[in-house]
Each structure stands twice: as C-alpha cells, then as structure tokens.
Amino acid sequence: MAVTMIEERKVVPYSGNMAAAEALRQINPDVVAAYPITPQTEMMHFFADFVANGLVDTEFITVESEHSALSAVVGAAAAGARAMTATAGPGLALMWEILGVASGMRLPAVIALVNRALSSPINIHGDHSDMMGARDQGWIILVSENAEEEYDNLIQAVKIAEDERVRLPVMVGMDGFIISHSIEGVSLLKDEEVREFVGKQRMFHPLLDVEHPTTHGAIAMSDSYMEFKRQQREAMMNAYKVIREVGEEFAALRGKKYEHIEAYKTEDAEYILIVMGSAAGTAKYVVDRMRERGEKVGIIKIRTFRPFPYYDLADAIVASNAKAIGVMDRAETFGGYSGPLFEEVCTALYTRNKFYPIAGLIYGLGGRDCNINHIEEAFDVVKKKAAGEEVPPVTYLNLQV
C-alpha cells in the first residue's frame, strides 16, 4: 500500500514536471516504464525518487529507448496492470509504431507528454509538432495550459482511458520548459481524494488471468481489419462523452469543471483567437488587458484535441459575435494551408455551414517566445481579416524577417 503524504489540500510551488510526478505518485500505477529525454527527464527523476523511497508500489522499468518504454507499457497493460510512461518530442516519435499498437489493442495506457520540437535542427524546446505527428494514432489527446492542469488532466486521463466505453490510451501534453520547468502555484489534491477518484482499475481480459486465457495483439487480415478500426472510431466518439463526464466528476474535487474547450470572454467577442497549451494562459491575460481598453476580444482554449470537440467549438463561435477568427498553431503542416489546429477549426465550422474569415497563425516553434505583444499582434491580424484586408494564409508570429 502506498504511503500517504498529502493529507491536506495545499498550494505548492511546483514545476509542470513536479506536478506530473506528484500526480503519478498519487495515482500509484502498477507499472511505469521510462527513458530519459529532455524536457521530460526531470519528471521521471522525481518519480524514480518516489519509487526508491517506497512511496509508491510501482514497478519502475528503466528501458533503453522510448520504443521499449511504450512496449513495456503495452505488455504491462495487456497483463492487467495500470501502466504509464512519460516522454517528449523525439521520444514520442520513437514510440510511434507502438502508439498504434496500444490504441489498436485498446489498452488503457497513459503518457505524460512534455511537448517538444522535432529535429532537424535539433531543438529541445516547447512545440506541438510531436503531438501533432502522433495525432492519427488513435490516442486521446488532452492538452494542458499550466502545471496544475497537467496534474488534473493526468488524474482524469486514467479514468477516461479505463472507462469500459472507451478503452483507449491517453496522452496528456504540456509545453516543454514553459510549463515543464517553470515554477507556479499548483493546488494539490489529497492523496486519498486522488486514490478514490481513480479507483481500482478494471482490466478487460487481462493476460494474467490464467483461468480465462486470451490472446492479445492478434493478426487481422483484410476481412476484419477495417471492422476493428471502426470500433476505434466508436471508442473515440464515446470518449467525447466520457471525457465530459469525468470532467464533471472531477469538478466535485477541484471546484473547477474541465470541459473540451474553454471559451474565455467570447460571448460578445468580435475577434476570437483559438489557442492550445501554455499560450492560452498568456492569451487570457491579453484578453483582460484589451477588454480594459474596450476591445471585444475573446479566446477559445482547446483542451481535448482528440477526439476533437467540433460541436463545442462551433457552438461557442456561433454564440459569439465573431467577425473573424485567428487560429494559433504551435506546429507546422508543411504544404498544408495552415497548421493542424486551423484545419480542425475550419472543419468544425464548415460542417455546420458557418463561414467566418479565419486567419492562420503559426507561433512559438522550437520554444520561440510567445508573449503578450505577440498575442496582440495576432489579434491585429484577426482585426485586419475582419476588415476585409488581405491577410496571408499563414502569419508567422515573432518571426525575424
């Protein structure tokens, strides 16, 4: 039985990595397999401490690559364990093959992901290219705005992944260094609260159940492969509901409800930015400042990237007074019209027969600064678009020209 450390709720000065490690400690998974990679390494250092000090019952497997880390997690999850791992950037890329294995086998694994740029050139900083590259591998993707959200999302992720209607793995992203290494106030839940919330995991047909032998990871030829993929689509649609339910349940603990999106001051907003990750926090601050000057601005933060909340997003936009929208992407889609988030937003609106002028904004690649001035710059582009001025398909924010 894991030791109880946090008996009272408290606010602590934690980095995203510390908060994530603390979440893992409280979840107390059966198996954690990990390989160090910047900026995630620190998280697993903290967690390894917990293991060494006997604060968790976790079997901690140090592997020789991320491919092995996720493979170990897949094996453990199939055996019936609650299994987790953590990674970043190229580490997630090296897991790529196993990402599909985990989701195809419908195993409830969780990855604490520290979003990092992909090479080349080598870059270790915050960027969503890793997550976007993994976008179509059948994982539920939650994105955190700050350390506390990473902590909260990880706790919810366990419950979402293990729901009978879902049975899909979840990755929870936070921006490398910006969140993973910055110290902020994080309100921790009590150990007991987290334990109760995540509960005992129920594995479906665990390999170790020798009374009921099963084969996991079987072959499916062209006569049934497509049917299994259709099942995965169904699971994602179920996840849309389950994420909402778990978010509502979590509200009882946190006093703050987690939804697919967060519409911030959008009701009467004429100019809206759609943001994901740490930039959402900055953007909210900018919105407050601009509102003081009487400008009707708002932002929509995307928390669930997969399954993508098309309805929630379109509803929020339709309910506003939007004249134009800007979509901020921290990843490139080379040769695409704009970034990956941009395309989702367009789809959400088009399928509802709604047309708004939309500007694509790419920012913060490889950890490039995205401060209040850049968000204001982004709103300027949206205003131009609203005024019918010519705006290029993609505006790179804070680019040296």
82 binds another protein (CB under 8 A): no
Q: Which is nearer to another protein, 222 or 400 (CB)?
A: 222
Part of the chain binding another protein (CB under 8 A), chosen from 56-64, 66-74, 125-133, 228-236: 228-236
227 binds another protein (CB under 8 A): yes
In terms of C-beta distances under 8 Å and separation of at least 24 residues, what long-range contacts does 379-385 make, across chains too?
379/271, 379/273, 379/286, 379/290, 379/295, 379/297, 379/326, 381/326, 382/271, 382/272, 382/273, 382/324, 382/325, 382/326, 383/271, 383/324, 384/359, 385/324, 385/326, 385/357, 385/358, 385/359
Structure token pair of residue 92:
């997630």
**394 in Cβ contact with 361 (< 8 Å):** yes
Minimum distance from residue 110 beta carbon to another protein (Å): 17
Sign (positive/negative) of CA torsion 104, 110, 115, 121? Answer: negative
In sequence order, what are the beta bridge partners of 394? 360
Among 13, 185, 199, 217, binds another protein (CB under 8 A): 217
210 binds another protein (CB under 8 A): no
Structure token pair of residue 341:
């988030």
Place of tokens 């086998």: 105
216 binds another protein (CB under 8 A): yes
- Rule CB under 8 A: which of 164-183 touch another protein? 167
Query: Could you give the 3-state DSSP secondary structure of residue 174?
Result: strand
Part of the chain binding another protein (CB under 8 A), chosen from 219-227, 291-299, 365-373, 376-384: 219-227
Minimum distance from residue 137 beta carbon to another protein (Å): 15
Among 9, 202, 230, 256, binds another protein (CB under 8 A): 230
- Rule CB under 8 A: which of 367-386 touch another protein? none
Among 223, 293, 294, 400, binds another protein (CB under 8 A): 223
Q: Which is nearer to another protein, 238 or 398 (CB)?
A: 238
Place of tokens 């290219």: 129
202 binds another protein (CB under 8 A): no
Among 105, 118, 253, 394, binds another protein (CB under 8 A): 105
Cis ω for the linkage preceding 121 (within 30 of 0): yes
Minimum distance from residue 213 beta carbon to another protein (Å): 5
DSSP secondary structure of 45-105: HHHHHHHHTTS---EEEE-SSHHHHHHHHHHHHHHT--EEEEEEHHHHHHTHHHHHHHHHT
Which amino acid is residue 106, in one-letter code? R
390 binds another protein (CB under 8 A): no
Among 4, 231, 321, 373, binds another protein (CB under 8 A): 231
Q: Which is nearer to another protein, 7 or 227 (CB)?
A: 227
Part of the chain binding another protein (CB under 8 A), chosen from 67-75, 212-220, 256-264, 377-385: 212-220
Using CB under 8 A as the criterion, which residues of the chain lie in contact with another protein when the complex forms? 104-107, 167, 204-205, 212-220, 223-224, 226-228, 230-231, 234
